[in-house]
Structure 1
Amino acid sequence: METPVFVKNDPWLQPFEESIRARISHYQNKLNYIHDIFGDLYHMAAGFDYYGLHDEGDAYRLREWAPNATKIFLTGDFSQWKCNDRYQFIKKDNGNWEIYISKSVLKHGDLFKLHVFWEGGDGLRLPSYVQRVVQDPQTKIFSAQVWHVENEFQWEDEGFKPQINPLLIYEGHVGMSSEDEKVSSYSEFKSHVLPRIIKAGYTTIQLMAIQEHPYYGSFGYHVSNFFAVSSRFGTPEELKDLINEAHKNGIAVIMDMVHSHAVKNEVEGLGRFDGTVYQYFHDGAKGEHPAWDSKCFNYGKTEVLQFLLSNCRYWMEEFHFDGFRFDGVTSMLYVHHGLEYSFSSYADYYNGTEDMDAITYLTMANQLIHHINPHAITIAEDMSGMPGLADTIEHGGVGFNYRLSMGVPDFWIKMIKEKSDEHWNVGQMFHELSQHRFGEKTIAYAESHDQALVGDKTIFFRLVDKEMYDKMDLASESLIIDRGLALHKMIRLVTLATAYGGYLNFMGNEFGHPEWIDFPREGNGWSHKYARRQWSLMENPNLKFKFLSNFDKAMIDKAKSAYLVNNQPCYGVNINEADQVMCFKRGDFYFVFNFSPTNSYTDYGIFTDAGKYKIILSTDNPDFGGFGNVDESLIYYAQRMPFNNNQFQLKLYIPARTAFVMERIPPIRVH
């Protein structure tokens, strides 16, 4: 085997080449094994066609994999929810079971379950590949539901391709997207939220909590039924309609994919499905996630690989998802799950704690996804920084298109909590924001849903706190609000401007959504008061939230049409820690930040290329809640430096707590 390309590109990886080769060999050996059995990954990932409930003309066929089971019965209203020999499964080869049920017995909308028996016990279960699960509003019990609509959904998105230059993600949760205190629906999201996303300029929606989960407050991260669209938000056709409408408007839709663990629930989920704890999961302590109170998949089992890979193919082909943001990837990469582990050197990635089976699964998932759709988007939620994770499989990487830049929001929260802004170090700031692995794209973000949950605070809430409640009207004057508005815009602009591939915003954070997210639970009286989005605050012309929304739209529009196009390198130009002034360059664009809370600078010299420049975006614009101290109508001419005629500079007025973007005006060509 030749030295992997991503190792050649990073000489510091050479001492660990043997470990990297071992990981690649593990993947290739498993891939060859699968090819010998199934032909290729794509055919292997057709588990949802073989298992689960399927229309066979006059009857429904249901297949299940339960190698430890001794008997399985189909139960429902048709059997008075009792075991009846007429509805007993037939045992087939390799632990598979099968039953055919007449459509005169089982009809669209009917509820059903499996009653599984094993040596020494039995229990009610939902099919592992079940595609529709509903919860009784009174008893709160989940059941499988026959879902066979007469008219197949008609897609209108042929040939759709995501816009990835740059990738601008709007992270959303359907259930909490309404202003009303309720669980919202796919249809309501399509009607009320999708138009806002289109207007805001984002190119991609990342939908959370799509896979069915028993507890609403888990944010969708404790999945029970991996092939089922969460019915609390509507029907499968309504989700398809939402995705179809997004595609018609040029917006890609990716899904939060949770394959890092599964909920422990037995009746609703896969826990002890056939009486064993090790059918889908590791046996013993390895099968228990120590931090998430959930089950850990055994990625070394071929049947588990088929289940998870089929899940990827199903969501792409059945619902036209454009890709996935894989949750909890760090937990998958290492046997210690990354818990209380400091990744301080390359040796920490290659010390025998890698989970080779899990990494092989992730590599296969990326290969399959990009085989189905070469334009698909895959993002790894990884805080460890494992080299090669977002490099191509051909280069020896794991194959993700992007990794989340998870250290950035932690950096911002730490800065805001621990230091007054007169002590913010712009050198440290530029280093944290601009460091990226060569050849591996990242998704930058100042905050996501994680920072908006109870127990934490969004950036704007941390900056202004209680002043948010009575000082956000236009008539009120508040230095705290002025500071919060200024820093919120600057933090988001510098985060986006240093992005290396893409940028993410969580629903509502673009306009400084107040307070936190708290899902209905016993501790709050099952209230939806904080599990919603107050769009009216942004739309109220008498409130200052509109300023942040206006700025976000302008920032996103310019990123899309100008300074993030083609992902040009980011170079530091002036990083003056004493003055708290930072300037960096991307192509023909210069980004100027003055984080000083008190010092405004006149005729401040910024190194540039020769030419003339104009300001294309300023946080000080009155439309964005600024004071209008920066004259955006001026044309700035670069001047030769004294004593060095080969260097040029701009002399700028940079007010305190202000940032702006300058573009070099192309010279007029004379023919």
Structure 2
Amino acid sequence: LIYEVHVGMAQEEEKIGSYREFIDKVLPRVISCGYNTLQLMAVQEHPYYGSFGYQVSNFFAASSRFGPPEDLKELIDEAHSAGLAVIMDLIHSHSVSNEVEGLSCFDGTLYQFFHNGPRGRHHAWDSRCFDYAKPQVLHFLLSNCRFWLDEYKLDGFRFDGVTSMLYTDHGLEKAFTSYDDYFDDNVDEDALTYLALANKLIHDVRPDAVTIAEDISGMPGLAVPISSGGVGFDYRFAMGVPDNWIRLVKDTPDEEWQMGHLWYELTNRRRDEKTISYTESHDQALVGDKTIIFRLIDADMYDHMQVGDDNHTVARGMALHKMIRLITLATAGNGYLNFMGNEFGHPDWVDFPREGNNWSYRYARRQWHLVDDENLKYQFLARFDRDMISLSKDHRLLESAKIRLVYEHSDNKIIIFERSGLLFIFNFHPERSYSDYRFEAPPGKYRMILNSDAPEYGGHNRLHPNQYHLTLFDTSMGKGRNLLSAYLPTRTALVLQPVSSGCNNLGQT
């Protein structure tokens, strides 16, 4: 359960935040949310603040704009003492092209660390591309992996830009539609070898360390152990999941959402590779894009988030925001990620200071006061997220690999599935509530343990809390079936927990 943060923009004030401020003001919030892993962005030194930390100049230096190295070490120690693992973004896919601060022309040549000629430049990113065939480059990058583990006691890495590393064309504007695309001359075998070496070194040094691959191409074997012929990452991001949510929310009316396709997109993964799902990360928050909550509510967020304001757009947006996040977590393979502030529906986009915005920090911060204000609705989304995360931990949801689709009906916009012994019920229909919706379920008695429509989550309170449901044995279709009957309000998600086994015969007293 990963909470993705950027120290510089984690504070409320319009400025660059520090490691020290993060320890005092933000870390307690992360702990209270219930996530168990902190993912630090922009740790390695980078000359341009607006690069989100992805244009690295000094691979062995913690960014000084956030404070001294000792403060970063204290941040990591404090997180560890609270039971959080700490991983960082590791940028080994490219290097800043700057020649004053960076490695480019470090010895007077363009090819000491990088490919010579056009292949040494990533034109889309305006950066330099490492030559992974050079032993000196391998030593440099591998020692960098060990440095962060040894010196800062980090617990692992999210390897950024893996797709760019894997292919000589960086995978740009390419649709990977066949397995042939993964095994042709476009694959950079030297980069693939480096990634396997990096994973071996990291796990030899720290067997409990976590490595995550950010790959959009779907290259098979990335998260397969080296001993089984894979590259050795522990996890890979399920990057098709957030893309699908954006397409649905942006381009498809609610009444046209296809439940079968949604289920496919949420669960489409290789069973031999561990995956981490998310509804959105920092990528969707950048200027020029929109977060899910902002796409759902848009400008009404500025005027209608007060408690008691019965705005239809806000009600729809909050209901879907809760459902989208719950179904993404409940169907995730082995992990779940959230970008800071998105758990409570942080408004606006992320826009770092630049000439185009008069070097303003207004959108390079997190407005925590919104979730603290009891007169605003953000608190409801935060409370739901906290309870959703708690439920996943209490029932070891992500440790249960088996997910069984119980029922799906696209016209009714219903998805019901079972995981870790729990029944997850979703009614995505924008208009229809179902007073007596019946579906097959394992026989027994069930208690409702989560209801997205509850008033404490900003819902309409259409269901009694802690209600129980009994299966009925039905033979009306010519065969015996155990049925649950439930009231399913529109745009509502429920979670039922079995409390006893057995069944009741329909019509018997």
For Structure 1 versus Structure 2, the TM-score category normalised by the shorter chain is: over 0.9
Q: How does 1:20-39 map to 2 (within 5 A)?
A: none
Per-residue deviation at 1:563?
Answer: 5.2
Partner of 1:509: 342
Is contact 1:608–1:649 with CA below 8 Å preserved after alignment? yes
Residues 247-266 of structure 1 mapped to structure 2, 5 A cutoff: 247-266=80-99
Report how far residue 645 of structure 1 moved. 5.5
Structure 1 position 666, deviation (Å): 4.2
- 1:104 is matched with none
Equivalent-residue separation in structure 1 for 2:487 and 2:466 (angstroms): 13
Matches within 5 A, 1:234-245: 234-245=67-78
Q: Does 1:389 align with 2:222?
A: yes
Change (3 A) 1:365 1:254: same
Unaligned residue ranges in structure 1 (runs of 5+): 1-167
Deviations 1:252-291 (A, max 9, x none): 1000000000000111000011111110000001111121
Q: Separation in 2 of the partners of 1:196 and 1:317?
A: 27
Is 1:299 equivalent to 2:132 in the alignment?
yes
Aligned to 1:665: 499
Q: How does 1:394-405 map to 2 (within 5 A)?
A: 394-405=227-238
CA distance in 2, matches of 1:290, 1:394: 36
Q: Secondary structure at the match of 2:494?
A: strand
Shift in alpha-carbon separation, 1:274–1:565, aligned structure 2, 3 A:
closer
The counterpart of 2:283, out of the listed 440, 450, 453, is 450
2:296 corresponds to 1:467? no
Alignment of 1:525-544 (within 5 A): 525-544=358-377
- 2:384 equivalent to 1:518: no
Question: For residue 147 of structure 2, what is the amino acid of its counterpart?
Answer: Y
Which amino acid in the other structure matches residue 212 of structure 1? E
- Offset at 1:409? 1.0
Measured in 1, the distance between the counterparts of 2:398 and 2:2 equals 15
Whole-angstrom CA distance in 1 between matches of 2:445 and 2:185: 55
Question: How far 1:641 sits from its partner (Å)?
Answer: 3.0
Pairwise mapping of residues 480-491 of structure 1 onto structure 2 (< 5 A)? 480-491=313-324
**Which residue of the partner structure matches residue 374 of structure 1?**
207
What percent identity do the matched residue pairs reach? 57
Q: What amino acid maps onto 1:271 in structure 2?
A: S
Say whether the 8 Å CA contact 1:497–1:563 is kept in structure 2: no
Matched with 2:62 is: 229
SS at match of 1:394: helix
Residue 585 of structure 1 is matched in structure 2 by: 418
* Distance of 1:423 and 1:635 partners within structure 2: 32
Q: Secondary structure at the match of 1:311?
A: helix
- Greater than 6 Å deviation, 4+ residue runs: none
The reply on whether 1:213 has 2:46 as its aligned counterpart is yes
Instruction: Name the SS of the counterpart of 2:406 in structure 1.
Output: strand
Match of 1:341 in 2: 174
Match of 2:243 among 405, 410, 413: 410
Question: What is the letter of the counterpart of residue 481 of structure 2?
Answer: Q
Alignment of 1:623-642 (within 5 A): 623-642=456-475
Q: Which of the pair has more CA radius of gyration?
A: 1
Cα offset, 1:650, TM superposition: 0.6
| Partner AA of 1:346 in structure 2 | Y
Q: Which residue of structure 2 aligns with residue 650 of structure 1?
A: 484
Structure 1 residues 300-339: aligned runs within 5 Å: 300-339=133-172
Give per-residue Cα distances to partners, 1:364-416, cap 9 Å, x unaligned: 11111111111111000001111111010011010001101111111111111
CA contact (8 A) 1:609 1:647 kept: no
Q: Is the 8 A contact 1:217 1:520 kept in 2?
A: yes
Equivalent positions of 1:36-51 (< 5 A) are none
1:560 pairs, out of 385, 393, 406, with: 393
Gaps of 5+ in 2: 503-509
Mapping for residues 48-59 of structure 1, pairs under 5 Å: none
Residue by residue over 1:432-461, the C-alpha shift from the partner in whole angstroms, topping out at 9 and shown as x without a partner, is 001110121111000000000100000001
Deviation at 1:217, TM superposition (A): 0.2
Match of 1:55 in 2: none
Residue-pair matches, total? 501
Contact 2:334 2:401 in 1 (8 A): no
Residue 493 of structure 2 aligns with an amino acid whose one-letter code is A
Aligned to 1:21: none
Counterpart in 2 of 1:426?
259
Aligned-pair distance for 1:490?
A: 0.5
The separation in 2 between residues aligned to 1:621 and 1:568, in whole angstroms, is 29
Q: How does 1:159-170 map to 2 (within 5 A)?
A: 168-170=1-3
Matches of 1:359 and 1:641 in 2, distance apart?
56
Q: Distance in 1 between matches of 2:269 and 2:465?
A: 32
Query: Deviation digits for residues 199-230 of structure 1, max 9, x if unmatched?
Result: 00000000000000000000000000000010
Matching residue's letter, 1:647 = R
C-alpha contact 2:397 2:420 (8 A) present in aligned 1: no
CA distance in 2, matches of 1:320, 1:382: 26
- Distance in 2 (alpha carbons) for counterparts of 1:479 and 1:426: 23
Using the size of structure 2 for normalisation, the TM-score is: 0.97
> Would you say the 8 A contact 2:34–2:389 is kept in 1?
yes
- Indicate if the aligned counterparts of 2:4 and 2:338 stay in contact, CA closer than 8 A: yes
- Taking the aligned partners of 2:445 and 2:264, their CA distance within structure 1 comes to 28
Question: Secondary structure of 1:443's match?
Answer: strand
User: How far apart are the structure 2 equivalents of 1:391 and 1:264?
Assistant: 33
2:36 corresponds to:
203
SS, match of residue 9 in structure 2: coil
CA RMSD of aligned residues (A): 1.1
- Residues 276 and 332 of structure 2 are in contact (CA less than 8 Å); yes or no, is this contact kept in structure 1? yes
